[in-house]
Structure 1
Amino acid sequence: MYAQISRPVANFHPCHWGDHFLNITNPHHDEVVKVKKELEVSQLKDEVKKELLETKGNPLELLNFIDAIERLGLAYHFEQEIEEALKQVYENYEEQCAKDDLYHVSTRFRILRQHGFFVPCDVFNKFKDENGSFKESITKDVPGLLSLYEASHVRVHDDKILDEALAFSTTHLNAMVNQLSSPLADQVSHALHQPLHKGMPRVETRHFISVYEMDPLHNKTLLKFAKLDFNLLQALHQKELKDLKRWWKGLHLNVSFSRDRLTEAYFWILGAYYEPQFSFARKVYRKIFKSTSLLDDTYDAYGTIEELELLTEAFQRPWSKSCMEELPEHVKWSYYAMVEACEEAEEDLAKEGRSSFVNYTRDQVKTLSKAYIQEVRWCHEKYVPTYDEYMKKIALVTSPYPHGIVASFLGMGEIASKEVFEWACQNPMPDIIKAASTIIRLMNDIGGHKFEQQRKHLASAVQCLMEKHGLSEEEANEKLKEEVEDAWKVINQAMLQPYVIPKPILTRILNLARSANVMYMGYDDGYTHVNQTLKDKVASVLAHPIPM
């Protein structure tokens, strides 16, 4: 019956990983090995904590030590100690910047901004000449120029000197990268591809461990700690991914039309939170995340408008698996997966007396499905909205970060209070959620525009600008890239004190924006078309332990 129906099938390429992560073996999965390594980590942690306290009397040594701890992925072990130390760094900010070189001024500025301290950027004026341009002499200090480049990505609106710094450092680093020798050449090349502030923490940590090891002045205790900690966490992440794959297989869904991207979905979630204390949050979130991916594919790459109207109506009513019988074959599976994921979330959260919070996610899914069906109607009618209409009415909701962000809070414990969920679900949406949604939506639209227009598909932001605003494709892409950069400034502003909600909650939103940036790196849809660059990143984080 359904074979005769014309469907917008996308023919997504198959999963790259197969059953690799179901069958993967890792010495750290052995309980005896794990306990032994955890004891070693505990001892190294004590040593590093002692060193951190001992460096407090030396401002530059303290700054470099904190930077190394953070970039090696160890900051979650020392959150309180780092915050206390940074208060001291903040108090001496102006005085210390006045006498420091470009590298340390830039590093101090970046770290303090990333920790919510609104430090002024006029400290960079001393690196300018009498004409107000950055001095050409600083291009000879490549580590300093690289640090300036990294610092410029924490800019907010009106940080004009940082806008100039980004343009200046990018131009000069690009010009010199092929003349540099290793390991500095590798560091510059990596940063130009992926600025630290916009990268996924696990990916950046894995890269930096290799960089740090090549530094002849590296701290041996810190390096060993970082490697052990990374490998232990990787073993935990592998187990979680294996559990997700078993759960998904156990649902017995007939959804061959959808993207088989379980590994990439879990990798995306790790971008939001990799730390061991968020293992429960990942357990809850990963099921809802994957079910949302299937829902997106059902609306976008399979269902007819008649089938999807029925699916949307089912989501608006009280949820029940018995409703599946009223839905067409294949389309019903996305309903089943989402209902099952939310029911299991309720069961898990009931142990904490927090099961009622799942209703916030259900409400978000209702809103999401209504936005999805509006996309389908516009596509069916061949309607091309204006850019503003597209963004305001559907594009941010179907990104689908407003829903995904709320779901990421579910397993975070008491810090994700009723007030947090009410804040996140308000209409209009909070600026930081709108900004994160803008980043994923526009990067996705630029990356997927050509592929999606090869079949019957809703007009993207690129097409809206071309057809309704008279821009060329190149002009449309440039405008959207400017919007993405503007959204990053909004996020950076929201991450400064005083926080509107607890910082760990805001950090999930920042990190999900980072995940989107990595998945759509180079404005290429890496989730739909998994390229070699993304495969390598996934493998580095999830497949390959670091040699000790």
Structure 2
Amino acid sequence: MALQDSEVPSSILNATAGNRPTASYHPTLWGEKFLDYSSVDDSVAMDATIDQDEFEALKQKIKNMLISPTDKSFKKLSLIDAVQRLGVAYHFEREIEDELEKLSPDEYDGNDVHSVALRFRLLRQQGYPISCDIFGGFKDDRGKFKVSLINDVTGMLSLYEAAHLRIRGEDILDEALAFTTSHLESMVTQVSPQLSDEILHALNRPIRRGLPRLEAVYYIDLYSRDDSKDKAILLKFAKLDFCMLQVIHRKELSIITEWWKNLDVEINLPYARNRVVECYFWAMGVYFEPRYSFARKIFSKVIAMASILDDTYDAYGTLEELELFTNAIKRWDISNIDVLPKYMKLIYQGLLDVFGEAEEQISKEGRTYCMSYVIQAVKKVVQAYFEEAKWCSEGYFPKVEEYMQVSLVTTCYHMLATASFLGMGKIADEQAFEWISNYPKIVKASQVICRLMDDIVSHEFEQKRKHVASGIECYMKQHGVSDEEVIKVFRKEISNGWKDINEGFMKPTEVAMPLLERILNLARVMDVIYKDDDGYTNSYVIKDYIATLLEKPVPF
């Protein structure tokens, strides 16, 4: 896309790199690799990958397994758990819901910790308000979890996973998490290599916080170590499904890569992070199912444009330029483009084009009401970015409360949650957009998780250049404590954020469950990308994750 000169103040045209707070980001790790899939015909690639008749036959067998009567609910729960963890539950949503509805939250056919914890987790995941009091039977006379539980490693893992579905005030689950975490950590060197691997994987990323596609790859490998007949059916289906999705996702990414190539970001916006593949990975984490193809493509572009905005306000634009851009965004009209410096024209045009593309599609569904909510969310983000830019320019250290009020907006997570509804079809009605525009608790929780995880892993890198104070610095200055103490406080708030997300899933919910799942998945993406490092900026951290889902074939 060619850039044209504009009539702007000479002070802007003459701005140099010397007075810009530029950062040093590594180049893309992928180049134009995924453009290779742009010429591949979907149907041809699919036929070469899987046998559709075999796929449908296996699907029917699994459906029959799910709906077949049984007097052993634990067996049915184990099947549902396997279907979910193998990443194929989206094929059987109605069957799974029907089977779970038949289960009474207060009755169970097993008294071992594994069966009780599994029932609890599966019901909580679906939003059923099962009481945590069912774990009281596993405590001794002193009110502590029985030491004998330690001998049941599978049960300990189940209890550990169940505890991650806790909400605020559920002390018994807080205790269960502390109990299982401590003992599982000590078991790692005392059990078989396979169990040790399971424990380490769970400790690093519990099911509730894992991205479904990545967890499916792990569980496919784990499941393949058992050669029973029923498991063979599930395993074959999961592998075929993974291959099918990989074909779809590769083709989508080729389209996104082509769009990014046409923007010519490396030449026109060399200060910005070139992370379009990582943006698609983010979108794929929010929704992977084939029916959300349009949603994924639009969402990838929204994330990519948000990343450019972030870098422009954070690492390049002068305050005068940013004020012009902020005002242009407020007006949201292409006629405002002439007042912008030439590099900002590309950004402004690109942003309006992305939302124009979205509007064109959703207007066919009679859902044009969506756009005003998303655009308003973008305007709020840009205004908050500008507020942070002014803080940086002035060397201002806000109080923690003031910092959070602005920085929660600049996570973009409310805007992204709103944008994630665009491609969800009629289930995302005007009531749903009105709901999310009022910052419900579950959305605020995802913002808190995003902001605090980001601050923990990125504040040292950011403070090496002129940069707005992070939450770490603000808290240290206000309370006179060390960064280690701040991080401890932040991790507790992140934990509370997950509790609030779990509460948001408890039935009855204000919006449909698939919409809530987008918000949950946004939080999960943060746990994967930002757990130990800023894996978006330093994308070497997540390179293997991306390769696992988009490059590597699953072994048959």
Structure 1 residue 433: Cα displacement: 0.7
Structure 1 residue 410: Cα displacement: 0.6
Using a 3 Å threshold, how does the CA distance of structure 1 residues 191 and 417 change in structure 2: closer, same or farther? same
Name the amino acid aligned to 2:393: H
Tell me which residue corresponds to 1:43. Answer: 57
Tell me which residue corresponds to 2:315. Answer: 301
Q: Tell me whether 1:374 sits opposite 2:382 in the alignment.
A: no
| CA RMSD of superposed structures (Å) | 1.7
Distance in 2 of aligned mates of 1:303 and 1:169:
49
Using a 3 Å threshold, how does the CA distance of structure 1 residues 195 and 41 change in structure 2: closer, same or farther? same
Structure 1 residue 145: Cα displacement: 0.5
Tell me which residue corresponds to 1:71. Answer: 85
Structure 1 residue 178: Cα displacement: 2.3
Structure 1 residue 351: Cα displacement: 1.9
- For the Cα contact (< 8 Å) 1:299–1:373, is it kept in 2? yes
Tell me which residue corresponds to 1:151. Answer: 162
Tell me which residue corresponds to 1:162. Answer: 173
Extract unaligned runs of 5+ from structure 1: none
Distance in 1 of aligned mates of 2:127 and 2:206:
19
Structure 1 residue 536: Cα displacement: 1.4
Tell me which residue corresponds to 2:35. Answer: 22
Q: Tell me whether 1:333 sits opposite 2:346 in the alignment.
A: yes
Q: Tell me whether 1:458 sits opposite 2:471 in the alignment.
A: no
Q: Tell me whether 1:343 sits opposite 2:353 in the alignment.
A: no
3-state SS in 2 of match to 1:2? coil
Distance in 1 of aligned mates of 2:496 and 2:17:
46
- For the Cα contact (< 8 Å) 2:50–2:244, is it kept in 1? no
Name the amino acid aligned to 2:111: D
Structure 1 residue 471: Cα displacement: 1.6
Tell me which residue corresponds to 2:6. Answer: none
- The counterpart of 2:378, out of the listed 365, 375, 395, is 365
Tell me which residue corresponds to 1:536. Answer: 544
Q: Tell me whether 1:483 sits opposite 2:497 in the alignment.
A: no
Using a 3 Å threshold, how does the CA distance of structure 1 residues 146 and 32 change in structure 2: closer, same or farther? closer
**Which deviations, in whole Å up to 9, do the C-alpha atoms of 1:29-80 show, x marking residues without a partner?**
6256159533322111101111112254321110100000010111111111
Q: Could you list the runs of 4 or more consecutive aligned residues of structure 1 that deviate by over 6 angstroms after TM superposition?
A: 25-29
Q: Tell me whether 1:418 sits opposite 2:427 in the alignment.
A: no
- The counterpart of 2:509, out of the listed 486, 489, 499, is 499
Tell me which residue corresponds to 2:10. Answer: none
Distance in 2 of aligned mates of 1:286 and 1:4:
29
Distance in 2 of aligned mates of 1:361 and 1:27:
33
Using a 3 Å threshold, how does the CA distance of structure 1 residues 43 and 395 change in structure 2: closer, same or farther? same
3-state SS in 2 of match to 1:184? helix
3-state SS in 1 of match to 2:272? coil
- For the Cα contact (< 8 Å) 1:408–1:508, is it kept in 2? yes
- The counterpart of 2:244, out of the listed 232, 235, 250, is 232
Q: Tell me whether 1:121 sits opposite 2:132 in the alignment.
A: yes
- The counterpart of 1:6, out of the listed 16, 19, 31, is 19
What does 1:24-423 align with in structure 2 at a 5 Å threshold? Answer: 30-31=44-45, 33=47, 37-89=51-103, 91=104, 93-96=105-108, 99-217=110-228, 219-253=231-265, 254-320=268-334, 322-392=335-405, 394-423=406-435
Distance in 2 of aligned mates of 1:166 and 1:31:
45
- For the Cα contact (< 8 Å) 1:443–1:484, is it kept in 2? yes
- For the Cα contact (< 8 Å) 2:46–2:247, is it kept in 1? no
Distance in 2 of aligned mates of 1:32 and 1:415:
29
Extract unaligned runs of 5+ from structure 2: 1-13
Name the amino acid aligned to 2:258: R
Structure 1 residue 336: Cα displacement: 2.0
Distance in 2 of aligned mates of 1:133 and 1:27:
60
- Greater shift in the superposed pair: 178-187 or 269-278: 178-187
Tell me which residue corresponds to 2:518. Answer: 508
Tell me which residue corresponds to 2:5. Answer: none
Distance in 1 of aligned mates of 2:217 and 2:46:
25
Q: Percent identity?
A: 45
**Which deviations, in whole Å up to 9, do the C-alpha atoms of 1:269-309 show, x marking residues without a partner?**
11111011111211222211211111111111111111101
Distance in 1 of aligned mates of 2:151 and 2:369:
59
Structure 1 residue 364: Cα displacement: 0.9
- For the Cα contact (< 8 Å) 2:50–2:243, is it kept in 1? no
- Greater shift in the superposed pair: 279-288 or 304-313: 279-288
- For the Cα contact (< 8 Å) 2:49–2:244, is it kept in 1? no
**Which deviations, in whole Å up to 9, do the C-alpha atoms of 1:451-470 show, x marking residues without a partner?**
00001111111111101121
- For the Cα contact (< 8 Å) 1:308–1:331, is it kept in 2? no
Distance in 1 of aligned mates of 2:185 and 2:138:
20
Distance in 2 of aligned mates of 1:112 and 1:398:
34
Distance in 1 of aligned mates of 2:441 and 2:288:
25
- For the Cα contact (< 8 Å) 1:34–1:232, is it kept in 2? no
Q: How many residues align?
A: 539
- For the Cα contact (< 8 Å) 1:259–1:528, is it kept in 2? yes
Tell me which residue corresponds to 1:546. Answer: 554
Distance in 2 of aligned mates of 1:399 and 1:38:
42
- For the Cα contact (< 8 Å) 1:384–1:468, is it kept in 2? no
Distance in 2 of aligned mates of 1:240 and 1:327:
32
Using a 3 Å threshold, how does the CA distance of structure 1 residues 34 and 500 change in structure 2: closer, same or farther? farther
Structure 1 residue 251: Cα displacement: 2.6
Distance in 2 of aligned mates of 1:3 and 1:371:
25
Structure 1 residue 265: Cα displacement: 0.8
Distance in 1 of aligned mates of 2:463 and 2:45:
51
- The counterpart of 1:520, out of the listed 510, 524, 530, is 530
Tell me which residue corresponds to 1:469. Answer: 479
3-state SS in 1 of match to 2:466? coil
TM-score (norm 1): 0.95
Using a 3 Å threshold, how does the CA distance of structure 1 residues 418 and 34 change in structure 2: closer, same or farther? farther
**Which deviations, in whole Å up to 9, do the C-alpha atoms of 1:141-185 show, x marking residues without a partner?**
111101111111000011101100111111111111122222211
Using a 3 Å threshold, how does the CA distance of structure 1 residues 28 and 359 change in structure 2: closer, same or farther? closer
**Which deviations, in whole Å up to 9, do the C-alpha atoms of 1:446-493 show, x marking residues without a partner?**
110100000111111111110112121000001011111011111100
Name the amino acid aligned to 2:286: A
- Greater shift in the superposed pair: 259-268 or 15-24: 15-24
Using a 3 Å threshold, how does the CA distance of structure 1 residues 356 and 252 change in structure 2: closer, same or farther? farther
**Which deviations, in whole Å up to 9, do the C-alpha atoms of 1:178-222 show, x marking residues without a partner?**
222222111111111111101111111111110111134461111
Using a 3 Å threshold, how does the CA distance of structure 1 residues 133 and 255 change in structure 2: closer, same or farther? same
Structure 1 residue 399: Cα displacement: 0.5
3-state SS in 1 of match to 2:176? helix
Name the amino acid aligned to 2:400: Y
Name the amino acid aligned to 1:400: C
